[in-house]
């Protein structure tokens, strides 16, 4: 039986108050993602079955498979980056970016859920672009924001593809239109 999305609405303020000492565990990642964007948005970002697995992990301390855990780790980096910028997750997910050929990250992930490696790399590039567009907030280190964006596509067992340095070209020539 699939959970009802209304049972798990987003509560960004509660997500921000989650105790950090539990950060990093699978159950903590699942709860953080569920609070940050809610079940309905997780269905879009991860796909229906993966989002339901996240709800099950929060509700019943169920197990998650590796692609879902990796996707949750990517979402944590996104949430941390928007939190550092004083923004909300929807500010990132609803912003068209050149790295995704002018699409929003939400629209891109609706077609290619974050459980795929290709989507994680695309989201890394989108976050890197988004962080560069966001005006710096008082007390924020640009290096830390760059690290968050760089690490989005990284897998725990392997270094991020192209992590050191900057990527150049590719998607900008595909998208001549401005959003």
Question: Percentage of the chain with pLDDT > 90?
Answer: 60
- What would the DSSP string read from start to end of 101-169? TT--HHHHHHHS-TTSHHHHHHHHHHHHHHHHHSPPPTT--HHHHHHHHHHTT-BTTBPPTT-SS---S
Question: pLDDT tens digits for 8-59?
Answer: 899 999 999 988 766 568 889 999 999 999 999 999 999 999 999 999 999 9
Count of domains observed in the chain: 1
Whether 1 is in a domain gets the answer no
Q: Look at 49 and 177; give whichever has higher pLDDT.
A: 49
Whether 105 is in a domain gets the answer yes
Q: Look at 138 and 61; give whichever has higher pLDDT.
A: 61
Whether 171 is in a domain gets the answer no
Whether 24 is in a domain gets the answer yes
Give me the pLDDT at residue 65, please: 95
Give me the pLDDT at residue 61, please: 84
Whether 160 is in a domain gets the answer no
| Residue 48: domain span | 7-151
- Is the confidence at residue 174, as pLDDT, over 70? no
- Is the confidence at residue 121, as pLDDT, over 90? yes
136 — pLDDT class (breaks 50, 70, 90): low
Average pLDDT value for the chain = 79
Q: Report yes or no: 11 and 35 within 8 Å, Cβ to Cβ.
A: yes
Whether 83 is in a domain gets the answer yes
Whether 161 is in a domain gets the answer no
How many whole angstroms separate alpha carbon 95 and alpha carbon 97?
6
Whether 156 is in a domain gets the answer no
Question: pLDDT tens digits for 102-118?
Answer: 999 999 999 999 999 99
pTM of the predicted model, to two decimals? Answer: 0.74
Closest CA relative to residue 151, chosen from 119, 117, 127, 115? 127
How many whole angstroms separate alpha carbon 136 and alpha carbon 121?
24
How many whole angstroms separate alpha carbon 32 and alpha carbon 23?
9
Give me the pLDDT at residue 177, please: 36
């Amino acid at each position: 039986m699939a959970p009802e999305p209304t049972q798990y609405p987003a509560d960004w303020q509660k997500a921000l108050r989650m105790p950090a000492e539990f950060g990093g565990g699978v159950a903590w990642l699942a709860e953080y993602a569920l609070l940050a964007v809610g079940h309905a948005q997780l269905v879009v970002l991860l796909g229906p079955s993966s989002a339901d697995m996240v709800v099950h992990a929060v509700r019943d301390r169920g197990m998650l498979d590796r692609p879902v855990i990796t996707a949750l780790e990517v979402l944590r980096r996104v949430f941390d980056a928007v939190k550092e910028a004083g923004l909300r997750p929807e500010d990132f997910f609803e912003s068209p970016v050149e790295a995704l050929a002018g699409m929003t990250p939400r629209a891109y992930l609706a077609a290619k859920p974050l459980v795929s490696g290709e989507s994680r790399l695309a989201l890394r590039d989108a976050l890197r672009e988004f962080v560069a567009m966001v005006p710096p907030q008082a007390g924020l280190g640009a290096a830390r924001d760059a690290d968050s964006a760089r690490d989005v596509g990284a897998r725990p067992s392997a270094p991020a593809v192209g992590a050191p340095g900057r990527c150049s070209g590719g998607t900008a020539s595909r998208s001549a239109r401005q959003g």
